[in-house]
């Protein structure tokens, strides 16, 4: 991932729409690269906004959402995979996707489709689910408007909420404990 900085300085890294303002960053699912905060910061110093693809599927983020909080507060944009919203990437990815939607940390919902045959887009069901979760206006922002903003080289708005723990209800012999 360090190579991305050298590629950006050399002008050989591909930014979205070739305009140099947005960069889609992918991470392995098993680890967050060492020094990712510094890498993202250095990319941002170049005037490029970083979009992290499918954070809900990255195991360290599944274990601790606070890993994202500071990055999102400092301008990292997040793209959730539509199949995660539908539970197709496992219950943890689904739960994280839904939670970061609640926190307004998500800026894009995309298919992660690589072709019409393998990993087909299947966005209709995800769009309906998204409407039920965040409402039609926000769903349209995440599915359509923010992508158009990138194409037009405009700023994608952010308004993240601070992270808060979700308290789980425990059920015992004598009823619910909070």
Instruction: Give me the tens of pLDDT residue by residue for the chain, a chain 178 residues long.
Output: 558 878 887 777 788 888 889 999 999 999 998 899 999 999 999 999 999 999 999 999 999 999 999 999 999 999 999 999 999 999 999 999 999 999 999 999 998 776 677 666 668 999 999 999 999 999 999 999 999 999 999 999 999 999 988 776 555 555 554 4
Residue 70: inside a domain: yes
At a CB cut-off of 8 Å and minimum separation 6, what does 172 contact?
none
With contact defined as beta carbons under 8 Å apart, do 69 and 162 qualify? yes
Residue (of 79, 83, 124) closest to 101 by Cα position: 79
Taking the alpha carbons at both ends of the chain, their separation in whole angstroms is 43
- Domain count of the fold of the chain: 1
Q: Regarding beta strands 175-177 and 49-53, do their DSSP bridges make them parallel or antiparallel, or are they unpaired? A: unpaired
Residue 5: inside a domain: no
Q: What is the pLDDT of residue 174?
A: 53
Q: Domain of residue 20: give its range.
A: 15-177
CATH number at residue 118: 3.20.20.140
């Amino acid at each position: 991932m360090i190579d991305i900085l050298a590629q950006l300085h050399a002008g050989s890294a591909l930014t979205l729409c070739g305009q140099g303002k947005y960069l889609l960053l992918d991470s392995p699912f098993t680890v967050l690269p060492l020094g990712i905060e510094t890498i993202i910061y250095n990319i941002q110093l170049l005037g490029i906004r970083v979009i992290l693809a499918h954070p809900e599927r990255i195991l360290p983020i599944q274990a601790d959402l606070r890993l994202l909080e500071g990055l999102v507060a400092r301008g990292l944009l997040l793209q959730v995979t539509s199949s995660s919203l539908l539970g197709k990437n496992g219950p943890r990815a689904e739960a994280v996707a839904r939670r970061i939607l609640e926190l307004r940390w998500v800026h894009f919902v995309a298919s992660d489709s690589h072709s019409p045959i393998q990993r087909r887009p299947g966005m209709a069901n995800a769009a309906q689910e998204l409407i039920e979760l965040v409402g039609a206006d926000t769903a349209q922002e995440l599915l359509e408007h923010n992508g158009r903003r990138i194409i037009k080289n405009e700023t994608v708005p952010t308004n993240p909420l601070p992270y808060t723990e979700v308290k789980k209800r425990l059920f015992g012999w004598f009823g619910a404990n909070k």
